[in-house]
């Protein structure tokens, strides 16, 4: 008998032979995929918990929004989800989030525009302006040179 046949005969005699090997390979592959996907799952869980916490914090700090939420919870949640997705740093602040939610709930037809304005405002970089202002106080010529270099 050749070595390959001997190997196959031995494997068949073991617990289920090639079927057990296939099952073990599938289990090992699944475990590997689960470990690889753990950071992604952890991030998704963290984001869901953070969003819920931000939502509750916003409602706790804006009593008038509680009534708006009670009137139409599905629409309110949809608008908050959009705010959280488009401008997460605004959704994290209960007062800023409350102002945007108030504006969107008062004019649902304009909610999309409110969100795009929030996103464009969140994407601006105020650091450049504050650095320029700080330099203006120290040395006017340095501020001019810095501003010229920043602009191009």
Task: Give me the DSSP letters along 24-88.
Answer: HHHHHHHHHHHHHHHHHHHHHHHHHHHHHHHHHHHHHH-HHHHHHHHH-HHHHHHHHHHHHHH-H
Q: What's the confidence (pLDDT) of residue 80?
A: 95
What is the SS3 assignment for 17? coil
Domains in the chain: boundaries: 52-125
**pLDDT tens, position by position, 8-22:** 666 555 555 556 665
Higher pLDDT pick, 142 / 111? 111
- Residue-wise pLDDT for 82-138, tens only, equals 999 988 899 999 999 999 999 999 999 998 888 888 778 766 655 555 655 655 565
* Cα–Cα distances in angstroms (integers) from residue 94 to residues 50, 59, 122, in the given order: 13, 8, 15
Quick one: tokens of 102? 């108030």
Distance CA 90, CA 38 (A): 28
Q: Any residues with CB less than 8 A from the CB of 85 and at least 6 apart, and which? A: none
Q: pLDDT class for 143, splitting at 50, 70, 90?
A: low
Show Cβ contacts of residue 111 under 8 Å, excluding neighbours closer than 6 positions. 79, 82, 104
pLDDT score recorded for residue 46: 80
* pLDDT band, very low/low/confident/very high, at 39 (cuts 50, 70, 90): confident
CA 123 to chain centre: 15
In terms of pTM, does the model score above 0.85? no
Residues of the chain with pLDDT > 90: what percent?
36
Contact between residue 86 and residue 101 where contact means Cβ atoms under 8 Å apart: no
């Amino acid at each position: 008998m050749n070595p390959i046949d001997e190997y196959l005969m031995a494997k068949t005699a073991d617990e289920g032979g090639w079927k057990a090997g296939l099952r073990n390979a599938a289990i090992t592959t699944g475990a590997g995929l689960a470990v690889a996907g753990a950071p992604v799952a952890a991030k998704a869980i963290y984001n869901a918990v953070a969003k819920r916490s931000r939502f509750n914090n916003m409602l706790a700090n804006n009593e008038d929004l509680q009534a708006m939420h009670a009137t139409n919870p599905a629409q309110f949640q949809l608008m908050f989800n959009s705010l959280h997705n488009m401008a997460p740093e605004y959704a994290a602040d209960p007062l800023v989030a409350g102002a945007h939610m108030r504006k969107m709930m008062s004019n649902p037809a304009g909610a999309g525009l409110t969100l795009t304005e929030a996103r464009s405002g969140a994407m601006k970089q105020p650091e450049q302006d504050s650095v320029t202002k700080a330099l203006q106080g120290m040395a006017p010529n340095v501020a001019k040179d810095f501003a010229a270099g920043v602009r191009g």
